[in-house]
Amino acid sequence: MKIKPARRVRGRLRVPGDKSVSHRAGILAALAEGVTRIENFSTSQDCASTLACLVQLGVGIEREGTSVRVFGVGTEGLCAPASALDCGNSGSTMRLLAGVLAGQNFASELTGDDSLRSRPMKRIIEPLELMGARIRSEAGRAPLRIEGRRPLKAITYRMPIASAQVKSCVLLAGLLAQGRTEVIEEGGPTRDHTELMLDWLGVPLETSRVMKGDAVSEHFAINGPVSYAARDLFIPGDISSAAFFMAAAIMLPGSELELKDVGLNQTRSQILGAFAELHADVLIDERHAVCHESVGTIRVRGGNELAPLREGQSNVLRGSLIPQLIDELPMLSVVGTQVRGGLTIKDAKELRVKESDRIAATVSNLRRMGAAVEEYEDGLKISGPTRLRGASLDAYSDHRIAMAFTVAALIAEGESEIAGAECASVSFPEFFQLLETLVER
Ligand code: S3P
């Protein structure tokens, strides 16, 4: 993929439905009693993987573009799959489905592409085995061979890492367990789409926040086994997809962008706060709730000098904020090159075990574009402002790296080439096409 620099971006658009919410919608609709209509379902390859796995488990699914009808089978109605379930590149598909499969009275196997088979799965194997399932793997990597147990044993599980996928995996297993399953989250809140959707579906979930000195923990408890009726779902626009266009607009003077019906869930929209901290011109309007998720319009204008909000302070992103903008960090690193005083990201070790090692991939591509970057085990320090140079880049088979560096190429001097950029369709198949409608050269 060759990308020429842009003068600015201008336009109005809707980004496709949120990937995280769509995974949960597909899975929770499959376990409901009755038919669910899901509107604005994600167009991502990842969510197609989730639906394909559910079909293999005996769930009827009809899809017409972004409208999906799921014929729920109830929590006890899934069937043993005839072959291994292929989760493709999708960590959410594998980790969320593992929670469901752990509570079945049949065996199943979850597998995926090379990237997914290299990612850590011990984080879900451990709680699911404590609940009574047996999971065979090679050194905690997929393929995962799951021998389910019905009902599962309820547990109290303190998560060793802040991960919404782990939290959701255990809560889904909790639907199928006998008794009270509790998940304790420390190190900052992670996305709460599962909790909101369970509430929308009328599944009782106890939530509480415990504060001990400086330490804050979130507690979620579900009393299983639970059955619930189907209820239609609407998926908000994906803020993680929108963020790429927002970043381009912020960095290119004269840009004006209006993004409608974007998901503004508090646990996902910290990127807006991060932009605001850099003096970017970002406005939120028409905020309303859809299926318990906050949705609204985002307006962005380019041209503000990007600098720390408080003069003399440096820009450091760290701590409990990190899980709430984890997917935006490669792109924020690109933005960091344009910030007076640069940008530092810490406490983000999880980036090393995403679809690629996102710290290494970001550092390598930024350096190729002439940026001065220091790499840490848990983050990076980017100097700024720096005029980026067009360069030969690599997507590292990672959709978010492909899109972050497409945006970097727009603000660079001279043309760039990104090897493997087509992997953007893992989360956002329309990315390049939509970008072309916005870019002015
Ligand atoms: C996701 C949670 C995050 C995120 C991923 C989607 C989810 O992963 O990076 O893209 O849908 O729950 P972790 O739970 O591993 O942090």
What confidence tens digit (pLDDT) does each residue in 218-246 have? 999 999 999 999 999 999 999 999 999 99
Q: Check: CB of residue 69 under 8 Å from CB of residue 36.
A: yes
User: Which of 23, 45, 191 for a ligand 1 pocket mutation test, highest count of atoms within 8 Å of Cβ?
Assistant: 191
Q: Which numbered atom of ligand 1 lies nearest the CA of 162? A: 16
Give the DSSP H/E element, type plus range, for residue 104: none
CA dihedral of 433, 434, 436, 437, whole degrees rounded to 10: 130
Rounded-to-integer distance, Cα 423 and Cα 425, Å: 5
164 CA distance to ligand 1 centroid (A)?
6
Tokens 């840009």, residue? 255
pLDDT digits (tens, 9 = 90+) for 379-423: 999 999 999 999 999 999 999 999 999 999 999 999 999 999 999
Q: What is the pTM of this model?
A: 0.98
- Side-chain half-sphere of 354: how many Cα atoms within 13 Å? 24
Helix, strand, coil shares of the chain, percent, nearest 5, are 35, 30, 35
Nearest protein Cα to ligand 1, atom 16: 163
Q: What's the order of all strands across the beta sheet hosting 67-73?
A: 60-64, 67-73, 33-39, 233-234
Which active-site residues does the annotation give?
327
Tell me if 87 sits within 8 A of 53, measured CB to CB: yes
User: What residues are in contact with ligand 1 under a 6 Å CB criterion?
Assistant: 20, 23, 92, 163-165, 168, 191, 326-327, 350
Q: What is the pLDDT of residues 295-349, one digit of tens each?
A: 999 999 999 999 987 766 779 999 999 999 999 999 999 999 999 999 999 999 9
Ligand 1 centroid to Cα of residue 160, in Å, is: 15
